[in-house]
Amino acid sequence: MKTRITELLGIEYPILQGGMAWVADGKLAAAVSNGGGLGIIAAMNADAETLRTQIQIARSLTNKPFGVNVMLMSPFTAEVAVLLTEEKVPVVTTGAGSPTPYMPAWLEAGIRVIPVIASVAMAKRVVRAGASAVIAEGGEAGGHVGEITTMALVPQICDAVDVPVIAAGGIADGRQAAAVFMLGAEGLQVGTRFLVAEECGIHQAYKDKVLKAKDIDTLTTGKRLGHPVRALKTPFSRNLLQAEYNADISNEQLEEMGAGSLRRAAVDGDLQEGAFMAGQVAAMVTKEQAAADIIRDIFDGMETCLKGASKWVE
């Protein structure tokens, strides 16, 4: 398969792995890249040295291209931005804000910048600033999400910008992958399904929770704070949602409640107090597989769908 995304990134399949905080380390990214997709290391809320170690791990495990995701709400964004230019990482994706202040330096270093966006306005802004492509992420996704669904967002972004569009949010199998091509996307990003990849180092309790999830098992908290986050239902996430409706609880207290909750899920497997971020497709994720097999399965399913699509018209 050849799209502007496979050409731009030098990859076999137009499938990116989401840059999930506390999940997407150098080992997972290398496994995805070795499987023919684009693996992505999450810089998340960590400092530059922590990221440098993960980049070195990825480089020791693969010769294929991989990316780094910069979470723009991180207090370490400025130092991480410098490190990326030093390390000459081939691809940088960004999330949870506008990357434009950092883009001139990244572009100068020859890095391809592919921001995750959740609105037409932000897509136009990052393309003006030199983005090579954009990742249009719908609100079905896990983690920090926008309002608009993938189905509604992707064609609007495709109409608004000339760069290739990668769809994200709500994609776990070949049918969904094929569907986003019909919406105009030229690639797709998958997060939730890679949570259960064999090379993914999160706590087994997190994997089991995804494997057992049902369709209605996610909820979003944080709307009152202006950054909605989708996660699987736990006592913690239900309490946080309740607290948001309580006028006696301040925004500072809400932020305090959320702090460290993703770590408690991914590292400790704390089923009571953890934030098990996952998308609405969690229920479709039913078996642990090697990252390369996940990519192959999505791609094969997509190929079948796309080849069969003409049966609907004469």
Residue 96 Cβ vs ligand TUI, minimum distance, rounded to whole Å: 4
Query: Could you tell me which of 266, 262, 253, 255 has the C-alpha nearest to residue 222?
Result: 255
Q: How far is the CB of 306 from ligand TUI (least distance, A)?
A: 27
In the complex, the smallest distance separating the C-beta of residue 195 from ligand TUI, rounded to whole angstroms, is 13
Give the C-alpha separation, 31 to 198, whole Å.
9
Task: Find all residues with CB under 8 Å of 177, minimum gap 6, and list them.
Answer: 15, 171, 188, 298, 299, 301, 302, 305
Q: Of 262 and 292, which has the nearer Cβ to ligand TUI?
A: 262
Sheet holding 66-71, edge to edge: 15-17, 187-190, 165-168, 134-137, 112-117, 91-95, 66-71, 39-42
Residue closer to ligand TUI by CB (options 73, 152) is: 73
Amino acid at 77: T
Q: Which is nearer to ligand TUI, 37 or 174 (CB)?
A: 37
Token pair recorded at residue 280: 């609405």
Nearest to 210 by CA among 268, 261, 267, 282: 282
**Residue 277: CB minimum distance to ligand TUI, A:** 6
Helix/strand/coil for 285: coil
Beta bridge partners of 136: 117, 167
CB of 239 to ligand TUI, least distance (A): 16
- Using the minimum distance from each CB to ligand TUI, give the nearer residue, 36 or 99: 99
Considering the complex, what minimum distance in angstroms separates the CB of residue 174 from ligand TUI?
23
Question: If we measure between CA atoms, which residue out of 270, 188, 198 comes closest to residue 231?
Answer: 270
For the bound state, the minimum distance from the C-beta of residue 142 to ligand TUI, rounded and expressed in Å, comes to 7
How far apart, in whole angstroms, are the C-alpha atoms of residue 264 and residue 261?
A: 5
Between 117 and 157, CB nearer to ligand TUI: 117
Q: Which residue is nearest to ligand TUI (CB)?
A: 143
Contact residues toward ligand TUI (CB under 6 A) are 21, 71, 73, 95-98, 116-118, 122, 137, 143-146, 227, 229, 277
Residue 175 or residue 263: which is nearer to ligand TUI going by CB?
263
**Token digits of residue 12:** 């076999």
CB of 191 to ligand TUI, least distance (A): 8
Closer residue to ligand TUI in complex, CB, 67/97: 97
3-state SS assignment for residue 24 = coil
- Which residue reads 């999830």 in tokens? 213
Kindly tell me which of 41 and 292 has the beta carbon lying closer to ligand TUI: 41
Nearest distance, CB of residue 46 and ligand TUI, angstroms? 11
Tokens 């192959």 correspond to what residue? Answer: 296
Which of 58/122 has CB closer to ligand TUI?
Answer: 122
Residue 267 backbone zone (phi > 0: left; psi -120 to 50: alpha; other: beta): alpha
